[in-house]
Structure 1
């Protein structure tokens, strides 16, 4: 009987170790992403892709891609309909313009605020930073990537490109994803964040 209990415990601990081993990632953010993608209640993956999923493909974490940006707020900007990959339109406005230096070059990006999210619990101060760059269509998803930010108290904001993630429609066409506006194109390679998803 004692041996049986030991055997059950051993099998249990091995299976737990295997469970834990599947949550890979170089940073906490990467681990969280992988855990969410493994979780059927949160994952955008199709069932067949989730069953074989072992982890997203990330660029190696690089602190060069963590930048301090100056936020110039645009309080008078108009609400507009941002196009998505489906017929759905999402009401957004340019919350401000982010100016920053990256690898000796100066860049600007518009950061957006969603009308619906402003009234959604937990997202009242959420800002949406979609961008395109020269890795799109090769090492990263062709449609560009997103970064989630929060409204800062002052006029500086940290952009961590290591947390750039793919729209859900990169994994499953049933999702409706905002299309990155052309003005948010960065004429450089952002080798940080999530890479292109290779479907099985």
Structure 2
């Protein structure tokens, strides 16, 4: 009987953790942390009046249709390569895998990368980098695209929550930051109305 109760509790916990309320809570936590980081003099990319006048980021309304379950296929024998950056330099990355998913009636895919220097740092060895562009760029969002932080999945499924996508630092400060340019293969032919928006006050 005790084992049955214990298993029931485990199942209920798993169900709750996957509920819409849980997803909404995670997105709001992401938004709160991003705002907190940009208000911190040690963390923010903002300078001058952009920093002193900063209150909070504008976000698209949270929409769980932009939280998609994707099939993940790891790239075997990937060769390190250089991604061009906003400053004209390059950074070393390795393709880690591809995520395949459906959104807005289209079959789409995005490539995920590992930054080689990060794999040597404690706590970042399973970190994945997802840069992407979509049809909102240069309109509601930064023209250079957006980023998403992910972790290596334990199986062949990965969650892409575009509600937790953000702009690169160079969107707010092109002089002090060196940001990877989104590869052409990660340009989506749809609008992703999720995550951080871009206001005129940040344009440079």
Name the TM tier (shorter chain).
0.7 to 0.9
Number of the residue aligned with 1:195: 197
Alignment of 1:181 with 2:170, yes or no, is no
How far has the Cα of 1:120 moved from its partner?
Answer: 1.1
How far has the Cα of 1:53 moved from its partner?
Answer: 0.6
CA distance in 1, matches of 2:48, 2:40: 11
Q: Post-superposition, which runs of at least 4 consecutive aligned residues in structure 1 deviate over 3 A?
A: none
Number of the residue aligned with 2:20: none
Unaligned runs of at least 5 residues, structure 1: 1-25
Number of the residue aligned with 2:87: 86
- Tell whether the 8 Å contact from 1:57 to 1:196 is kept in structure 2 after alignment: yes
How far has the Cα of 1:122 moved from its partner?
Answer: 1.4
SS at 2:133's partner residue?
strand
CA distance in 2, matches of 1:126, 1:197: 29
Tell me the C-alpha RMSD between the 2 structures: 1.2
The count of aligned residue pairs is: 175
Farther-moved stretch of structure 1 (172-181 vs 96-105)? 96-105
Unaligned runs of at least 5 residues, structure 2: 1-26
Number of the residue aligned with 1:149: 150
CA distance in 2, matches of 1:197, 1:184: 24
CA distance in 1, matches of 2:150, 2:50: 29
Provide, for residues 59-83 of structure 1, a one-character-per-residue CA deviation record: whole Å limited to 9, x for no partner: 1110000000111111211110001
Higher CA-based Rg: 1
CA distance in 1, matches of 2:151, 2:108: 20
